[in-house]
Amino acid sequence: MDIIVITTIIASLFLVIGAAEPLAARLRLPYSVILAVLGVMIGLGATFFLRTSLTDALNPVAEAILELPIRSNVFLYVFLPTLLFQATLGMNLRRMLDDWVPILVLAVVAVVVATLSVGYALAWSSALPLAACLLIGAIVSTTDPSAVVSIFRSISAPRRLARIIEGESLLNDAAAIALFGLFMGFVMLGMPDPELGAALARFPMLIFGGAFTGWLAARIAVWVMALFSRHELAQISVSVALPYLVYIGAEQSIGASGVIAVVAAGLTLNLAAPGRLPPQAWANLRELWDVLAHWAGALIFILAALLIPRLLQEVRLDDFLLVGVVILAAVAARAMILFGLLPLLTRLKLSPAVERPYRVAILWGGLRGAVTLALALAVTESFRVPDGIQRVVGILATGFTLFTLIVQGTTLRWIIGRLGLDRLSPIDEALSRQVVAVALQTVREDIARTTENYDLSHDIIRSEAKRFGERLDDAVRAAEDSADILDRDRIALGLIVLAGHERDAILNRVRERTISARMAEKILPDADRLIEGAHSQGRSGYQRAARRSVAYGSAFRTAVMLNGRLGLAAPLARMTADRFELLLSQRLILRDLGGFIDGRIRRIHGRRVADLLDELLSRRIEAVETALEGLRLQYPGYAERLERRFIRRTALRLEEREYMMMREDGLIGAEVYTALMEDLSARRAAAETRPRLDIALQRTALVRQFPLFSEFDDRALKRLGRALEPRYVNAGDVVIRKDSATKSVFFIASGAVELRSAGQTWRLGRGEMFGQMAVLMRKSPRAEANAIAPTTLLVLDEERFRRLLDRSRALREAVRASAEKRGIDPSSLLPGAG
């Protein structure tokens, strides 16, 4: 076909793509439905003009459209990697990791259940071999999440629910395509009834082989992109090559799943690249992939829809019955997951509770689209698949796709309206009123400054100010006098607004480069958790998310274990340095929030809510300061180096701003500006490098700060430092359980611990010890010890503690005082304490 004709047709399709989006918005239909309808109309129109005797003028165009070189390989090797890779880059991956269990279980189990359900239903109702029926089941298991996710976002559905559906749909496609490749091999080999156990046994190799390939390739790509740190276009070009090379390499070289490889590569790049690339380069890279995926998704829908008339040209009456079987089996399988497995995961506390109306919307929103058609096309093109199976696969997959798009897609928004999901909840309505009131106050202040600058007529200003003031008064009154909002909901509203402002402050700091993009990737999920916690559980949810933001995670504890038992210090060094920088960044952001509370929130939510938020903010700042103090005690000087780095980065940002202003004012020319910016970029690259942290715990310096050991010389302190073992505990963790055997004494290096015994409570802080009574009395402890803040403990075993008592008068006095304070006779202790 002439390249000019192909180029003309493709360019015309881009015009169709451009018109489809506003048309979908106007008709209030999913974008994919409009694209599919337009594609079918173009295909039908071309077929009509080619076969009609009314005119021959359009025959060349019709022939060119119908003879476009559209093959399944175009979809699988060009469009599919683009869509999958962009979806992984666009994910809030750190937030999805919070829900990896329901996402993974729903994705894998949903695919297997749908494949088996459709496969065995077809095997029972048709003469097709089981392998072909399972192949059809795998093809129709792929879902298009865009319709449901976009509508959920437009109706303010819970963010966590939208993330789970988005992540489940992405992995759903990956798992379904992996199963498709498995059963396609059986069909081509002529194995009508494969052993299902043997088939599923190959499934892990497809998954893990592809995942390792994608991870390794992405790590290499990030390393190469970091080498090109001053060449943004080179970095973006590497990212464009990555998914296609990974897909082809996994499929053709090692026989693994190319889809899984692309997903793994995208997830790895999403996690690793923000910390290795300049913020603007990472933002531009994601914007480019957004455009590529938009085009690829639109083209794959239109081009696949063009083939629908061809796939349906041999349809028979009994094929409609089989299409109905596929529809019923697929819907039943998805209902089984949504109304059976999902509630079970909720009861096991592995998934958030999903209300029944949302589950109904997800069930009806399980649209199939271009991926399903592309897989069906791959079957119809394979000469190794019998003709009868080719025909049935093409018809059933196409018929089922048309049903989901035409019937479900066009009625999805109506279903959502009937379920009442398009109406805001009372707290969301109150939040919208609060937003309006805050926005109007800001607008009033900005307008006042604008009118002063332009010296407008005082009569006009008074007239417009009066009108605007009336609207502002109404908005403030509506925000304050919401009769249907309880006090706890008002507090939740204030917390949501505060957490939202915290998120905005983080983004502003990233744009100003006072916080690195890598740190922002870690802090932003914490802000999202604050918003969701306040929205779902009010003050308790906000506080739980706040405690989590400064807690030691499971990964940190694993790194501590690797360092202590295996001597692997690198993971702990990296995570400790990350924790240092994260806490410093959090402190920087939190200190900016006080002015927002005293200004915006106090004016809108009232003094009581503002005072409560001030108290909660003070507690968060105190928790961050406590955690930072613990790190400073362990690693003296490192926090100072990080703070110096922050000052240098701030100075560079201000210097860059001055150069830009001078360039805009014409004070310097382009040549001078370019030279200055190159020099500044080199200094910024040096300032971005984080100072190295020596993880060898400086226990001697830490132990020296304990008043209990003040009489020891340096040699004794070094021996003691080697004997003490560090332990990290989070707020709420139980250090010593009541009536449990313990043979260790604990010294508090940082943080705080609460002891409870016989209805009494004692709080211990830095420099104090506990556990000594149970050791000396050789009894199970009568007190329970709980950490009330992220705490660093130094642990000493019983034998060393007894030897230490014999040598330290200060320690014996501390033990005696502690016993008297708790009503224990010091004489009942062993002689070493006397």
pLDDT digits (tens, 9 = 90+) for 707-752: 777 777 777 777 777 778 888 888 778 888 876 777 788 888 777 7
pLDDT band for position 220 (cuts 50, 70, 90): very high
Least-confidence region, from 117-126, 341-350, 653-662, 712-721: 712-721
Burial class (CB in 10 A: 0-12, 13-18, 19+), 667: exposed
Sheet strand arrangement including 760-764: 734-736, 784-787, 753-757, 760-764
pLDDT band for position 246 (cuts 50, 70, 90): very high
Give mean pLDDT, residues 352-374.
76
Least-confidence region, from 288-302, 323-337, 466-480, 761-775: 466-480
Q: Percentage of the chain surpassing pLDDT 90?
A: 4
Residue 627 near residue 556, CB atoms below 8 Å: no
How far the first Cα of the chain sits from its last, in Å, is 101
User: Is residue 76 predicted with pLDDT exceeding 80?
Assistant: no
User: What is the greatest pairwise CA distance in the chain?
Assistant: 115
In 3D space, the residue among 277, 248, 272 whose CA is nearest the CA of residue 262 turns out to be: 248
Q: Percentage of the chain surpassing pLDDT 70?
A: 79
pLDDT for 238: 93
Residue 602 near residue 614, CB atoms below 8 Å: no
Distance between CA atoms of residues 249 and 503, nearest Å: 40
Encode pLDDT of 307-327 as tens digits: 777 667 777 778 888 989 999
Distance between CA atoms of residues 635 and 378, nearest Å: 60
Distance between CA atoms of residues 761 and 785, nearest Å: 10
pLDDT band for position 329 (cuts 50, 70, 90): very high
The residues facing 754 across adjacent strands are 763, 786
Residues making up the chain, counted from first to last: 834
666 Cβ contact partners less than 8 Å away, ≥ 6 residues apart: none
In 3D space, the residue among 494, 553, 500 whose CA is nearest the CA of residue 530 turns out to be: 500
Which residue type, as a one-letter code, is found at position 327? I
Across all residues in the chain, what is the average pLDDT? 77
- Helical (H) or strand (E) element with 98: none
Encode pLDDT of 80-91 as tens digits: 888 888 878 877
Burial class (CB in 10 A: 0-12, 13-18, 19+), 489: middle
User: Is residue 41 predicted with pLDDT exceeding 70?
Assistant: yes
Give mean pLDDT, residues 164-170.
72
CA atoms within 13 A on the CB side of 274: 23
Distance between CA atoms of residues 650 and 638, nearest Å: 19
pLDDT for 414: 81
Give mean pLDDT, residues 530-546.
83
pLDDT for 327: 92
pLDDT band for position 241 (cuts 50, 70, 90): very high
Which residue type, as a one-letter code, is found at position 482? S
Which residue type, as a one-letter code, is found at position 24? A
Encode pLDDT of 3-30 as tens digits: 777 788 888 888 888 888 888 878 877 7
Token pair 């979809």 in the structure block, residue: 75
In 3D space, the residue among 344, 327, 246, 238 whose CA is nearest the CA of residue 289 turns out to be: 238
Q: What is the CA radius of gyration of the chain?
A: 32
pLDDT band for position 145 (cuts 50, 70, 90): low
Distance between CA atoms of residues 726 and 792, nearest Å: 7
**164, 501, 510, 530, 616 from 526: Cα distances, Å:** 17, 13, 15, 6, 16
Q: From its phi and psi, is residue 410 left (phi > 0), alpha (psi between -120 and 50) or beta?
A: alpha
Residue 373 near residue 308, CB atoms below 8 Å: yes
pLDDT for 245: 93
Sheet strand arrangement including 769-770: 725-729, 791-797, 744-750, 769-770
Other CB atoms closer than 10 Å to residue 123's CB: what's the count? 19
User: Is residue 832 predicted with pLDDT exceeding 50?
Assistant: no
- Give per-residue burial for 524-547: e unless 16+ CB within 10 Å, then b: bbbbbbbbbbbbeebbebbbebbb
C-alpha angle with apex 595: 476 to 608, nearest 5 degrees? Answer: 50
pLDDT for 274: 77
User: Is residue 399 predicted with pLDDT exceeding 90?
Assistant: no
Distance between CA atoms of residues 304 and 294, nearest Å: 15
Residue 789 near residue 754, CB atoms below 8 Å: no
Distance between CA atoms of residues 775 and 785, nearest Å: 15
User: Is residue 533 predicted with pLDDT exceeding 50?
Assistant: yes
Q: Which two tokens stand for residue 57?
A: 């003028």
Residue 403 vs residue 36, higher pLDDT:
403
Token pair 């190794």 in the structure block, residue: 384
pLDDT for 833: 42
Virtual torsion, Cα 586, 588, 593, 595, nearest 10 deg: 170
pLDDT band for position 218 (cuts 50, 70, 90): very high
- Give percent helix, percent strand, percent coil of the chain, each to the nearest 5: 75, 5, 20
Residue 807 vs residue 534, higher pLDDT:
534
pLDDT for 636: 66
Q: Which two tokens stand for residue 565?
A: 């038992």
Highest mean pLDDT among 50-59, 526-535, 758-767: 526-535
pLDDT band for position 830 (cuts 50, 70, 90): very low
Give mean pLDDT, residues 679-698.
69
- Helix, strand, or coil (residue 255): coil
Q: From its phi and psi, is residue 538 left (phi > 0), alpha (psi between -120 and 50) or beta?
A: left
pLDDT band for position 657 (cuts 50, 70, 90): confident
User: Is residue 129 predicted with pLDDT exceeding 90?
Assistant: no
Residue 390 near residue 313, CB atoms below 8 Å: no
DSSP state of 727: E
Encode pLDDT of 563-576 as tens digits: 766 767 778 777 87
Other CB atoms closer than 10 Å to residue 147's CB: what's the count? 24
What is the pTM assigned to this prediction?
Answer: 0.67
Distance between CA atoms of residues 196 and 216, nearest Å: 31
Which residue type, as a one-letter code, is found at position 32? S
Distance between CA atoms of residues 514 and 654, nearest Å: 10
pLDDT band for position 834 (cuts 50, 70, 90): very low
User: Is residue 698 predicted with pLDDT exceeding 80?
Assistant: no
User: Is residue 50 predicted with pLDDT exceeding 50?
Assistant: yes
Residue 399 near residue 323, CB atoms below 8 Å: yes
pLDDT band for position 410 (cuts 50, 70, 90): confident
User: Is residue 795 predicted with pLDDT exceeding 80?
Assistant: yes
DSSP state of 553: P
Give mean pLDDT, residues 158-172.
71
Token pair 């004494």 in the structure block, residue: 745
Distance between CA atoms of residues 38 and 35, nearest Å: 5
